[in-house]
Amino acid sequence: MKGAALLAGGLLTWELLSRLGPWPRWLFPGPAAVASSLVAMGADGRLGAAVLRSLGRLAQGYSLSVAIGVPLGVATARSALVRTAVRPVVLGMQALPSICWLPLAILWFGLSEAAILFVVVMGSLLAVAIGTEDAVSSVDPILLRAAGTLGIRGPRFYYGVLLPGALPGVLTGLKLGWSFAWRALMAGELLFVAGGLGQLLQAGRELLDAAQVMGVMVAIVAIGMTVDRVLFRVLELRVRRRWGLVEAAAA
Amino acid sequence: MWRDLLGRFLAARWGRPRVERAGLFPRRARAGRPKIDVHDVGHHFARVVALHDVNVKIHAGEFVCLLGPSGCGKTTLLYALAGHIQPSGGRVSIDGVEVKGPAPDRLLVFQEPALFPWLTVRQNIVYPLRARGLTRREAADRASAFIPLVQLEGFDDALPHQLSGGMRQRVQLARALAVDPAVLLMDEPFGALDAQTRSAMHQLLQQIWLRDRKTVVFVTHDVREALVLGDRVVVMAARPGRVLHDLDVRLPRPRDPDEPKLVELSRWIRAELRRTEAAAAQDEAEEPPRTEDGDARVGEGRSAPRGWPPDVGAPL
């Protein structure tokens, strides 16, 4: 209730600023203009197509980085050799903003879909790997001992004990990896025009249509928040509840 | 009263003969190859000697309790048997084969429940069985047999965090029994249970042992628990961890912890442990405390523990 009132207040201030401010209205459109631009883009299918395109890329790139990052994280946590070999590289590359991979990606893959996927993977892989490594190395050692004495080894140990034991922590890494992937994708689409929400944003600039730019930004925020707050939160809560990490009262 | 005191004094002085009449006998060597052979085992954590030249031979089908105060290395010895730690000296072998790590012929029951929190009670029992190669059907049958045995009917689908500590520990017991190992190694598994559940678990364990005659090594600091369960009690002392007495318990089963004979025996063992501790304290007072590498900085004041970390004997 209070939240809705504050939101309405904020929107009203925005609208007033846009109408009464000293700046030209076409450069600083109010919420009404942004909303109508969003509706227009939705109606002619541009928004839907861009969202689908972006989400499709994200799904491919993110799945790839999860498929590589989780095993990589498990390997670094479990093997001292891999740890000493890979860890410095991983930590060092974390300092590199993912978009810096774009020039190299274009050299290697050309102006293709693969180049964008490469940037997305490089952006999120390390976060997933580091999150997984942390989670795996903080699994309760008593569970590992129990698995040892019960004779659980091999794939059953990895899939049945180690990964479920680490899952709450792995999910945190996945969430972080997701948000990195989303950022990398948007940066990539902005710089390297090939459809998607980033390109729609860029098109708005070229047409001097600030309402479209703001509308797309709102869409990007909405998608990001939905996945982060809804998908991951629900997943995390479920896992934490099952694992007994939250009190029944909180659940 | 005088008579009682004299009796106690005699028991403490020449404990053996008196105690023999009551049901405890010094361990007599048995013929044949032992199932578990602990030979000259020593172990230290950093500078602390947890075990010093421990020799124990355990034959198949024996129920042996390792009894002693905390810090006497009983848990360390048990973990060495399980293969979870490698002793720094000596040899632990089972069936003549040196222990190099955990193996399916022995199972360790932990002090904590050590259940997989994401699996239900039933799944916690079934999963290790499946990992040991049982079919889905066999594993399910065993789970159904052992859940009622530990009085957890109706909790099949409960998650560990929904159970009380005692119930969790019973799930662990059921899981261990369902796996049916040749050697059962137990690390104070009933320490956290309430008295009633505890004695129910004692009855259950005795029944199962009488039926299957598994080799059981049971670590405890509770003298009565040791006497109720064990047909042999290895009394250990601390600083350094060593075997003080190796006694056969000849009391009829099933045993009742309140049986006068048993109470008397436990009194004798407790007195014996106290005496050892007092002697150690006296030694300590007479000569400055020394740790293994001759560092005599520790021990200002007699009451100071000699640099003895409280978790000695705990898992590494």
3-state DSSP of B254-280: CCCCCCHHHHHHHHHHHHHHHHHHHHH
**Same domain, residue pair B124 and B228:** no
Number of domains in chain B: 2
Whole-number Å distance between alpha carbons of A5 and B230:
72
Strands B24-26, B97-98: pairing kind = unpaired
For residue B245, the domain's CATH number is: 3.40.50.300
**Same domain, residue pair B241 and B101:** yes
Residue B162 forms contact with A (CB below 8 Å): yes
Whole-number Å distance between alpha carbons of A229 and A84:
35
Question: Given A142, A156, A243, which is nearest B118 (Cβ)?
Answer: A243
Is B249 within the bounds of a domain? yes
B3-37 residue pLDDT tens: 666 666 555 555 454 555 567 778 777 777 888 88
Is B308 within the bounds of a domain? no
Q: What is the mean pLDDT of residues A116-142?
A: 93
Whole-number Å distance between alpha carbons of B266 and A55:
72
Is B143 within the bounds of a domain? yes
Q: Judge: B108–A160 Cβ closer than 8 Å, yes or no.
A: no
Is B7 within the bounds of a domain? no
Residue B301 is predicted with a pLDDT of: 34
Q: Judge: A148–B112 Cβ closer than 8 Å, yes or no.
A: no
Task: Enter the tokens of residue B262.
Answer: 């048993």
**Same domain, residue pair B27 and B131:** no
Average pLDDT over all residues of chain B: 81
- The interface residues of chain B toward chain A in range 203-262, judged by CB-CB distance below 8 A, are none
Q: What is the mean pLDDT of residues A120-130?
A: 92
Residue B73 is predicted with a pLDDT of: 86
Closest alpha carbon within chain A to B315: A142
**Same domain, residue pair B149 and B195:** no
Q: Judge: A152–B118 Cβ closer than 8 Å, yes or no.
A: no
Q: What is the mean pLDDT of residues B54-72?
A: 90
Decide yes or no: CATH 3.30.70.640 for domain A38-241.
no
List of chain A residues whose C-beta atoms are within 8 Å of the C-beta of residue B127: 152, 160
Sheet holding B36-45, edge to edge: B48-58, B36-45, B89-94, B97-98
**Same domain, residue pair B198 and B282:** yes
Is B127 within the bounds of a domain? yes
**Same domain, residue pair B219 and B83:** yes
Residue B118 forms contact with A (CB below 8 Å): yes
**Same domain, residue pair B192 and B281:** yes
Residue A150 forms contact with B (CB below 8 Å): yes
B280-314 residue pLDDT tens: 888 777 765 444 443 433 333 333 333 333 333 33
Q: How many CA atoms are closer than 13 Å to the CA of A133, on its beta-carbon side? A: 22
How far is residue A87 from each of residues A98, B99, B221, measured CA to CA in Å? 18, 34, 45
Residue B105 forms contact with A (CB below 8 Å): no
Is B134 within the bounds of a domain? yes
**Same domain, residue pair B45 and B92:** yes
Q: What is the mean pLDDT of residues A129-152?
A: 92
Show me where the domains of chain A are located. 38-241
**Same domain, residue pair B83 and B193:** yes
The range of the structural domain enclosing residue B149 comes to: 113-180
How far is residue A103 from each of residues A61, A91, A108, A116, B130, measured CA to CA in Å? 18, 21, 9, 11, 51
Q: Judge: B118–A149 Cβ closer than 8 Å, yes or no.
A: no
Q: What share of chain B is helix, strand, coil (3-state, %, to 5)?
A: 40, 20, 40
Mutation target vs B (from A143, A144, A149, A235; most B CBs, 10 A cutoff): A149
- ipTM value, please give it: 0.81
Q: Minimal CA–CA distance to B187: which of B90, B313, B89?
A: B313
The answer to whether residue A138 scores a pLDDT higher than 80 is: yes
Residue reference for tokens 């883009």: A41
Residue B69 forms contact with A (CB below 8 Å): no
A193-238 residue pLDDT tens: 678 898 899 888 888 889 999 999 999 999 999 998 888 999 999 9
The answer to whether residue B77 scores a pLDDT higher than 50 is: yes
List of chain B residues whose C-beta atoms are within 8 Å of the C-beta of residue A142: 110, 112, 114, 315
Is B251 within the bounds of a domain? yes
Whole-number Å distance between alpha carbons of B289 and A33:
84
**Same domain, residue pair B133 and B194:** no
Cα-atom radius of gyration of chain B, to the nearest Å?
A: 21
Which of helix, strand or coil describes residue B89?
strand
Q: Is residue A57 a contact partner of residue A117, using CB atoms and an 8 Å limit?
A: yes
Higher pLDDT, B252 or B129: B129
Looking at B156, B180, B204, the residue that finishes a domain is B180
Q: What is the mean pLDDT of residues B218-242?
A: 89
Residue B9 is predicted with a pLDDT of: 59
Question: Given A152, A165, A244, which is nearest B161 (Cβ)?
Answer: A244
Q: Say which residues have a Cβ less than 8 Å from residue A243's Cβ, sequence separation at least 6.
A: A167, A168, B117, B118, B161
Interior angle at CA B113, CA B107 and CA B114, nearest 5? 70
Is B312 within the bounds of a domain? no
